[in-house]
Structure 1
Amino acid sequence: MTEQATDTGLRSALAELLPELRAFARFLCGNAAQADDLVQEALARTLRSLDAQEERVTDLRAWCLAVVRNIFHEELRARKRETVRLRDAVPEEPAPPAQETPGQMRDLARALKELPPLLREAVILVGAQGLSHQEAAEICGVPIGTMKARVSRARKLLAAALGRVTA
């Protein structure tokens, strides 16, 4: 197989993954524009990484989801550092009171956004993306038990936030 055919196949495979990558990024970010930026950066890094490798990645989907996750966490850490710098420089203004939004989907979206990032990504990978606990654990680079615990805690927090009792 020629290099051009391999390149075309890779581009096709990445194009097929775009909707799933965008959905995952949107759940992580909570914002469509940030999610698009995240996916764009992930694709650029993926292409650079794959060009530099001798071997081909066996599971492109898992690879790309892991790249999106890693970039999200890099940006999250950078935002935290920037927040500390800004807080030290400018006094914090009080946040406006939260307003009730109609509809269960909006309530769920708000509850997801309030989850800690590690729990949010776990429940999205397993719940929304349909990955097994094992696949999600591999993407996040944690043991399967840790992934199961994160998913369980996320589900309990979501149930509490939505006013549902868990057994």
Structure 2
Amino acid sequence: MADASNFRASLLEAIPSLRAFAVSLTKNSDRADDLVQETLVKAWDKQSSFQPGTNLRAWLFTILRNEFYSQMRKRGREVQDSDGSITARLSIHPSQDGSLDLDDFRKALELLPEDQREAIVLIGASGFSYEEAAEICGCAVGTIKSRVSRARTRLQEILHISGEGDYGPDGVSAQVTSSNIVA
């Protein structure tokens, strides 16, 4: 027990130095914080492999450096697609009608006020509960429910939808536009 508390105290002491090193590698304080956090998690998980009496800071810096380079290699294999243009070219919809419906839906979604769009995407597309969405948005659950309701109503008006059979190539789009979803 004393070894674990000493190890913990040593980890806490090393945080400022680890963060400074991480900032020098990443050139970004947010990424540096994530890197330090990942380093501490890995160190805690692998504390049994640390040999007492050796240099803990050097061991932590090695973990941080290795994690940084692992992330860089991973990023090198990933494709940046922030606007979705690459993904749009890769996806194939089952029919032309489904593709056109999806395009119409995207356009309609862009017409919603930002708070309604955010709420409908969190609930309908991302699958968060109302409580989780409220926590993410920093507002009351009732506010999220109201935003989602207004967003669904507005989407139905924009897309001229009178029932579930009027829209959607798949179950997800039907879920987003349906007002029958239970919280």
- TM-score normalised according to structure 2 size: 0.42
- Structure with the larger RCO, 1 or 2 (CA within 8 Å, 6+ apart): 1
- TM-score normalised according to structure 1 size: 0.46
